């Protein structure tokens, strides 16, 4: 997958996502390609969308206005789905990122995959499993929040950042209380073993990236950050059953994993 040519449409359900994570969302998407189409859907006449108004220009997103025609129900999901299908058939992108925790996008994710296109999702851990499993990759927003808070904490300890207002630090602590103290999922070692077995193909030493691809096939939401590790290499280093081997190629490290 060539990042410089792999174009992704980022479609955000403004009624069902967090504006404070817009930077982290784009950084996550950049791991797989370029966010060439950027749209946020919602009723921009309501106070609920005020938080998005502060970031749309900063991160070059197009606001898509959709009025709520009935009480308790809005047209954001249907509008996003219609736009996604138009983009799908325009051949202007190579993949999609749907940012929402709403199960209404399950059918859309399935339809995109049927076309053989890349589709990722970003949403909270409460996202219905059907939507998660319909994506090729699904990233939980809590993992993005963890990284965001860690960065803010490190900055707050830097002497050069003392001049910044305390309001930022307070916001970090609010996010920390809301998201980070939630019970983390337990690591299913059988999934790790199965992914290693699939990736091994009778080889003793396996590239860790290959194991990561197998893990995503088994569980699109598998993410080392969910278990307190920055990356897959750190996770495997913590497991007694496996050994991580440094493997330098042209000055870059492409770790290998093998059974002890």
**pTM confidence score:** 0.81
Name which of 42-51, 180-189, 219-228, 235-244 the model is least confident about.
180-189
Distances (CA, A) of 53 to 17, 118, 123: 14, 29, 20
CA dist 69 and 117 (Å) reads 33
pLDDT tens digits, residue range 64-110?
A: 998 766 554 555 688 899 999 999 999 999 999 999 999 999 999 99
For Cα atoms 80, 86, 92, give the angle at the middle one, nearest 5 degrees.
Answer: 110
**Fold: same for 7-145 and 189-259:** no
Sequence spans of domains, the chain: 7-145, 147-180, 189-259
pLDDT tens digits, residue range 104-114?
A: 999 999 999 99
Distances (CA, A) of 27 to 14, 103, 259: 18, 24, 33
CA atoms within 13 A on the CB side of 195: 24
Is the domain defined by 189-259 classed in CATH 3.30.420.610? yes
CA dist 217 and 103 (Å) reads 20
Strand partners, 122: 99, 139
Could you tell me what percent of the chain has a pLDDT over 90? Answer: 67
Q: Burial code of 151-178, b = ≥16 C-beta within 10 A, e = fewer?
A: ebeeeeeeeeeeeeeeeeeeebeebbee
**CATH of the domain spanning 7-145, picked from 1.10.287.3510, 3.40.50.1010, 3.30.365.10, 1.10.1200.10:** 3.40.50.1010
pLDDT at position 139 over 50: yes
For Cα atoms 180, 185, 190, give the angle at the middle one, nearest 5 degrees.
Answer: 150
Pairing of the two strands 34-42 and 7-13: parallel
Average pLDDT over residues 225-244: 94
Q: Burial code of 28-59, b = ≥16 C-beta within 10 A, e = fewer?
A: bbeebbbbebbbbbbbbeeeebeebeebbeee
Cα dihedral 156, 161, 162, 167 sign = negative
pLDDT tens digits, residue range 140-170?
A: 999 998 655 444 444 444 444 444 444 434 3
């Amino acid at each position: 997958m060539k990042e410089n040519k792999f174009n992704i449409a980022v479609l955000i359900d403004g009624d069902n996502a967090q504006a404070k994570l817009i930077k982290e969302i784009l950084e996550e998407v950049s791991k797989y390609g370029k966010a060439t189409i950027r749209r946020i859907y919602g009723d921009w006449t309501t106070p609920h969308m005020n938080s998005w108004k502060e970031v749309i220009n900063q991160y070059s997103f197009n606001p898509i206005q959709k009025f709520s025609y009935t009480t308790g129900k809005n047209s954001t999901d249907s509008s996003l789905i219609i736009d996604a299908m138009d983009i799908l058939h325009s051949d202007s992108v190579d993949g999609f990122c749907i940012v929402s925790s709403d199960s209404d996008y399950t059918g859309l994710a399935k339809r995109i995959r049927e076309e053989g296109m890349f589709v990722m999702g970003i949403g909270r851990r409460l996202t219905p499993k059907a939507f998660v499993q319909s994506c090729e990759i699904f990233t939980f927003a809590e993992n993005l929040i963890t990284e965001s808070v860690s960065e803010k904490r490190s900055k707050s300890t830097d002497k050069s950042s003392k001049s910044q207002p305390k309001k930022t630090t307070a916001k970090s602590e609010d996010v920390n209380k809301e998201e980070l103290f939630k019970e983390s999922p337990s690591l299913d070692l059988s999934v790790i073993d199965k992914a290693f077995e699939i990736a091994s193909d009778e080889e003793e030493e396996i590239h860790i990236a290959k194991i990561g691809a197998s893990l995503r096939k088994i569980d699109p939401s598998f993410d080392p950050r969910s278990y307190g590790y920055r990356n897959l290499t750190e996770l495997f280093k913590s497991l007694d059953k496996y050994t991580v081997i440094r493997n330098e190629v042209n000055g870059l490290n492409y770790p290998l994993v093998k059974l002890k």
